[in-house]
Structure formats: structure tokens, C-alpha cells
Structure 1
Amino acid sequence: MAKLTLNSALKQLQGTIDGLVIKHTRHGPVLCRRPDMSRVRWSPAQLAHRQRMQAAAAHYREVMADPGRAARCVARARKLKVPVSSLVMGEYLKTASAAGGSPDS
């Protein structure tokens, strides 16, 4: 495998470029092909988790659409030094698991 050293401008490069993925590992940046997920068969548990995450993301968008709730969440996230999305989605998922399903139901 070829090794390359990136200059400082490219060290933070991440994402996909023309079917290639740039990943950052503990060993340094890695360039590989984008995986073909078209044949993946998700298990029922994986499908359920994906649905929970979609619901949590929808909840996050709903919270951020309300200026009052968004301001409270942003202030709390700053105090805890965590991303706002992690705070809001995490609380949603904790509430959902405690309620045994969606907290909205």
C-alpha cells in the first residue's frame, strides 16, 4: 500500500470524491473505494435502530425549528461541551428507550 504525506491544507480533507472515500484512522488518512451497499440485507434489529435514529433526527429538526427550544438546547450543549445534535438526539433516544418505544407515542 502506498503511503503519502498530506500538507497542512489537506490534512482535514474528508468525505467522498468520485467514488473514493477519504477516512481518518489512528494510523493516518486512508483512501479507499466507496462501498456498494446495494446488496446489504439489514437485520430486523438494524432496521429498528435505523428507524429510531431517523425519528431522533426528525425530533432534532423539530427542536431546532423552535427558536426558544433551540436556544435552550444550544446553551445547554455549550455548557456540557457537546454537539447540539448529540444532546437533543441522545435525550430523545434515552426517553424512547425508557418509554419502550417512541416518546411521542
Structure 2
Amino acid sequence: MKTDIFTISEIITIVMDLVDKLKTYELYGFEDESELHIPKPINDKLESLDFSDYNNFISKCSEIAEEILSIKTGELNELNYCHEQITFLAEDMLKSYIRAHEGK
């Protein structure tokens, strides 16, 4: 089990991409089943997780994305609030995946 590999910034990137996929579903009625549109280093970390950890991590990120969807409007203040909420929820739901120190 590989844990404590993501920074909060990386989790925000993943969750915001999932929010975009949910927004697509909300607007157009179809699921965007394409791969995540995230930087390669983050994707490499995701791929380093075993199957169970990957599914658990993505499931929790999706839960966070569902909570964030209602507050994402694209305005700067709202995006800052989204990031704050993701940080708060991630520190609770994904604490085992977050690095203890950002500079690690």
C-alpha cells in the first residue's frame, strides 16, 4: 500500500478535473469517460497506486468533486473557495494519501 504521495495542490488538480467531468454530465447529460486531464507527474503517482488504493482514492476524490460542483462557477473568488473546500475535505477524507510535509 503506497500512501502519503500526493500534495494538496495535486489533489486539488485531480478533484477539479473530476468537477469538470461532472459539470459536463450536468450540462450535456453524458458522462465524460475519458482519462483525467492532469499533468504527467500526477498521473504517474496515480498509476503507482495498487488497484484497491487507486479505486479508493478516486472514489473519495469523486465524493469531494460532487460536494464542490455546486460552488464552482469559474469566478476567481469561487475558485479560491473551491480550493479551500477541497483542502478541508481532503485533509479529512484523504489524509493517508497526503504528504506530511509539502517539500518532501
| Bin for the TM-score computed over the shorter chain | 0.3 to 0.5
- Larger of the two Rg values belongs to structure: 1
Q: What TM-score do the two structures reach when normalised by structure 2? A: 0.32
Q: TM-score, normalised to structure 1's length?
A: 0.32
* Structure showing greater relative contact order (alpha-carbon pairs closer than 8 Å, 6 or more residues apart): 2
